[in-house]
A and B are shown apart, each in its own frame.
Chain A
Amino acid sequence: MSYRLIDHTADIGIRVHAPDIAALFHEAAAALIDILDAGGAQQEVSIDINIDGLDLVDTLVRWLQELLYLIQVRGLRVAGFVVHEVYETAVTAVVYGRYTQTPLAMEIKAVTYHGLKIQKCAHGLETTIILDT
C-alpha cells in the first residue's frame, strides 16, 4: 500500500502517492480502510458511488468522507472497490462488502481539508490528508 503515516500533534496525517489521479483516489481510500481496519469482508452488497466536488481536492475529500460514512455509520466492511473515473469535479466508484458492525480500530471524526494539495512527485502524484481523530 502506497501510504505512510505522518506526525500530526492532535490527529492523524497520511501521505499517499500514486502514478495517476484515479490511482491516488484508490490509494487514499485503501489507506483509510486500512487505518480503520474495515477491510477483509465478504462480498454481499455493492454500492455505486457518484460524488460531485467543487474541484479535485474537494472531490477527493468528499469521496473519502462518503467512504467514512458508509463504514462508521452504516457499518459497511469492505471486500474491495473500484474507482471508475476521476474528473476535476466528480468521481465514480463502486464499493463491495458487507454490512456488519464488527469493531473498528479507531474512530475518525472527519476527513479534513487542512493544507490539502495534490501535487506532482517522483512517483506521479502525492497528497497529504489530515484525519480528525
Chain B
Amino acid sequence: MEGLALKRIDPYRLEISRKPPMRTWGIIYANTAIERMLGNDEAIKQLANVACLPGIVGPCLAMPDIHWGYGFPIGGVAAFSKSDGIVSPGGVGYDINCGIRCLRTSLEQHDVTPKLKILLASLFSNIPAGVGAINKNLKINRKELQRVLRTGSNWSVQRGFASSDEMEAHEELGCIESADPGYVSEKAIERGLPQLGTLGSGNHFLELDVVDLIGDESLAKCFGLYKDQVLILIHSGSRGLGHQVCDDYVHTMMSAAQRFGIELPDRQLACAPITSKEAQAYLGAMSAAANFAFVNRDLITYYTRASFEAIFRKSWESLGLSLLYDCCHNIAKFEHIIWQDKRIEVCLHRKGATRALAPGDPRLPWRYKDTGQPVIVPGDMARSSYILAGAEGAHETFFSACHGAGRLLSRQQAKKIARKKNPLEELKRRHIQVIAASRTTLAEEIPEAYKDVSEVVNTICDAGIAKIVARLRPIGMIKG
C-alpha cells in the first residue's frame, strides 16, 4: 500500500486515514519524540495491512513501542467481530504468550548488592538459558505435557511449583480454558517437551531492579511497592512449542484464506473466519501454547525462589517473593471491549501489547479492583523499566497498553555499534551486573537498540490509558 499519510490528531495520537483496501483507520499512540523515531518505518504499512482484514471492529491500533515485525507490526492491537471477523496466527506471532511477570521482594538494594554476583550466578545456573536451552531437571512425559497444555498454571499449583493464592495474579488466572492439546502437532510437542522451564535467548531475560521513583503513592501501596525495594522481572514465552504451533497454523490458514476468498495484503496475515473449523483448531492450539508459557514462567519463578532461598538462607515467603502480576504480550482472546458505547465481545489480537484493565473492571482480582491492572513495561538493559496501572481511558485501546521500549535499531546495526565498545563494561560502569549465555545476544540488545522507554510510557500515560505507579532501575540480569 503506497502513499499512507500520518495525521496528528493530538499530542499523543497519530491517525492513518482509511484508504482502499483498508476497511478501517489506524491510530498510532505517539508523542512527537516517538513520531520522530517512527520515520518511514515499515510498521506503518503493516498496520494499514491489518486494517484490510475482514470483520475488524473499530480502528486498528498501535502502541508507542510499535516497530516493524512480520504480518502485524509489533505493538499492534486489533479487534475482530465474533460473527464475521477472522483470527490470524500472524496477529499473535511465533512466540505465543511471550509475556512478563514481576515478583516483589521484601529486600532492599543494600540487602542484595553484597550478594548480587553470587545470586546472579545461582540464577544462571538454576534457570536454563540461551540458544536451544533445554531443562534437564524437569522430567515430564507427553501425558503430563498434555495436562500442562490443558490446565496451565493449575498444573504448576498441583505439582507444587506455584501457590494457589497467586493464580489470580495471572492474566486469565494462568489458564486459557479454550485450550485443546488435541490440535497441537506432534512436532510442536517434540519441540516443547525439553524446553519447559527455560528462559530462551534473544530479548528474553530475568532482571533484578530497584524501585527508584514512586509515581503514585496510593497505587504503589496497593501494589505493595516502595522506594529502594528490589523487584524481579521475568520475560519469556512458549519456546519452540509456540513457534511450531504458529508455523503449523500459518500453513493451515493460507489454504483457508484461499478457500474463503480472503485477500491477503501479506501472506503472514493468513487467517480464517472465527467461525471456521480452521480458526477453532488454531484457537485451541494457540491457547494450549499460551498455557505452556504460563507454566514456563511459573517454573522460572520456582527456580528463582530456590536461588534466593539458597543465597539468603531464608524461605521465599519470608523474603517476600510474591507475584505482582503476569501479563501476556502475544495473544488472541475473546475479550469484552467498549465500542460505540456498547460492551461487546470480540476476538482481540495483541502482538507486542499488554492488557491494561481499568479500575472497576469485573475481570480484575479483588486486590486490584480499585487500582486497575498492573502493567509491567520493561525498558532496555541500562535505562528504566516501569510498573503502570490501567486507567479509565484504557477503553479506547480496548484495554491495551505498551509492552516495552520497542526496538529502534536492527540487530545488525546494534552489533555494529557494539563492536566499537564493550557493552558489558559499560553496564558495569552503570553498576549493572549481567551474565549472558551469548556475547552476540548482548551486542544485539545494547541499550541504543531500543527507544527510550520513558517516552513510550509518557505517551501512553499522557493519553490517559495508564498511570505510572513506579519507575525501576536495573541492577543485575541474566540473559539467554
Contacts and interface: CB of A to CB of B under 8 A. Distances in A.
A and B form one complex: yes
Nearest to A62: B251
B75 to A, nearest CB: 10
A73 to B, nearest CB: 5
Contact of B440 (A5, A8, A105, A116): A105
Nearest to B46: A114
Q: Which 5 A/B pairs are nearest by Cβ-Cβ distance?
A: A114-B70, A113-B267, A7-B410, A9-B68, A112-B70
Contacts of B412: 5, 7, 12
B96 to A, nearest CB: 10
Given A12-B411, A112-B71, A113-B266, A104 B131 contact: yes
A84 interface: no
Question: How many residues of A sit at the interface, in one of the four size bands?
Answer: 20 to 34
B184 to A, nearest CB: 15
11 contacts: A9-B41, A9-B67, A11-B70, A11-B411, A12-B411, A65-B247, A72-B240, A73-B187, A109-B243, A113-B70, A115-B70
Given A7-B410, A73-B187, A110 B67 contact: no
Name which of B42, B190, B251, B440 has the most chain A CB atoms within 10 A of its CB: B251
Contacts of A114: 69-71, 266-268
Contacts of B255: 54
Contacts, number: 92
Name which of B69, B74, B438 has the most chain A CB atoms within 10 A of its CB: B69
A46 interface: no
A107 B187 contact: no
Given A9-B408, A12-B411, A54-B255, A107 B266 contact: no
B26 to A, nearest CB: 18
Given A10-B69, A107-B201, A54 B407 contact: no
B316 to A, nearest CB: 30
B258 interface: yes
A61 to B, nearest CB: 9
B149 interface: no
A72 B258 CA distance: 31
B99 to A, nearest CB: 15
Decide if the interface of chain A is mainly helix, strand, loop or mixed.
loop
Contact of B407 (A9, A103, A112): A9
B191 interface: yes
A105 B438 CA distance: 9
Contacts of B266: 113-115
Interface of A: 5, 7-12, 54, 57-58, 62, 65, 69, 72-73, 101, 103-107, 109-110, 112-116, 130, 132-133
A10 B95 CA distance: 13
Nearest to B248: A65
B360 interface: no
B169 to A, nearest CB: 28
Nearest to B267: A113
B201 A69 contact: no
Given A113-B266, A114-B71, A132-B93, 9 more contacts: A54-B254, A73-B187, A73-B240, A104-B132, A107-B202, A114-B69, A114-B267, A115-B70, A132-B243
Interface string B42-54: 1100000000000
Contacts of A72: 132, 240
A98 B254 CA distance: 34
A110 B267 CA distance: 14
A50 to B, nearest CB: 16
A40 B128 CA distance: 27
A114 B413 CA distance: 21
Nearest to A74: B190
Name which of B71, B187, B413 has the most chain A CB atoms within 10 A of its CB: B71
B60 interface: no
Given A103-B132, A107-B202, A113-B270, A10 B94 contact: no
A104 B201 CA distance: 12
B263 to A, nearest CB: 15
A105 B444 CA distance: 13
B440 A106 contact: yes
B187 A69 contact: yes
Name which of A101, A104, A109, A115 has the most chain B CB atoms within 10 A of its CB: A109
Contacts of A69: 187
A114 B93 CA distance: 12
Given A9-B409, A73-B187, A132-B94, A103 B131 contact: yes
Interface string B237-271: 00010010011001100110010000000111010
A103 B133 CA distance: 10
Interface string B62-87: 00000111110010000000000000
